[in-house]
């Protein structure tokens, strides 16, 4: 018989308030989850668009390489038309590199050098 009606009523009020607080927390968490799900969808769409662009650029590079091979195999670009190997080299587009790879340990811009190639071999 221990607890009086007043104590039981107070306990019931505390439990009701605690349950309301828990329900509020659940609702807030659901809203936050919905927000993150929307962000995930947005990032997935962005990733999909970038992936499609990546594939298009990759295809363009492959096509250009295949076109070069096609001309090369037809004899349109022969070794006689290539410039002889030279010590002078042209510098690749180092400005296209990621910022973290653009500088050597010296602090100067990294220079990617590729052998000189006569770009007019089709002429």
- Tell me: do 103 and 49 sit in the same domain: no
Read off the pLDDT of each residue in 50-54 and give the average, rounded to a whole number. Answer: 97
User: Per mean pLDDT, which range of 44-53, 57-66, 91-100 is the poorest?
Assistant: 91-100
Residue 101 pLDDT: 47
List beta partners, residue 114: 90
Nearest CA-CA partner of 119 in 87, 95, 96, 90: 90
CA–CA gap between residue 113 and residue 104 (Å, rounded): 14
- Tell me: do 34 and 54 sit in the same domain: yes
CA–CA gap between residue 52 and residue 48 (Å, rounded): 6
- Specify the pairing of strand 113-114 against strand 90-91: antiparallel
- Tell me: do 61 and 89 sit in the same domain: no
* pLDDT above 60: residue 49: yes
The residue with tokens 């002078």 is 88
- Tell me: do 19 and 57 sit in the same domain: yes
State the chain's mean pLDDT as an integer: 74
Q: What is the chain's Cα-based Rg?
A: 34
- Tell me: do 63 and 32 sit in the same domain: yes
Give the tokens for residue 54. 């990546």
Residue 86 pLDDT: 52
Banded pLDDT at 87 (limits 50, 70, 90): low
- Tell me: do 62 and 91 sit in the same domain: no
- Tell me: do 6 and 28 sit in the same domain: yes
CA–CA gap between residue 80 and residue 38 (Å, rounded): 60
Total structural domains within the chain: 2
- Tell me: do 57 and 1 sit in the same domain: yes
Percent of the chain with pLDDT over 90: 46
Domain with 106, as residue range(s), is: 83-123
- Tell me: do 18 and 71 sit in the same domain: yes
Residue range 7-43, pLDDT digits in tens? 999 999 999 999 999 999 999 999 999 999 999 999 9
């Amino acid at each position: 018989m221990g607890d009086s009606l007043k104590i039981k009523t107070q306990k019931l009020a505390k439990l009701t308030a605690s349950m309301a607080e828990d329900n509020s927390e659940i609702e807030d968490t659901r809203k936050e989850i919905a927000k993150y799900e929307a962000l995930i969808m947005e990032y997935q769409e962005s990733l999909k668009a970038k992936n499609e662009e990546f594939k298009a650029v990759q295809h363009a590079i492959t096509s250009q390489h295949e076109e070069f091979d096609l001309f090369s195999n037809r004899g349109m670009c022969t070794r006689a038309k290539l410039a002889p190997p030279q010590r002078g080299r042209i510098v690749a587009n180092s400005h296209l590199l990621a910022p973290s790879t653009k500088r050597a340990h010296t602090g100067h811009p990294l220079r990617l050098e590729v052998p000189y190639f006569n770009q007019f071999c089709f002429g």
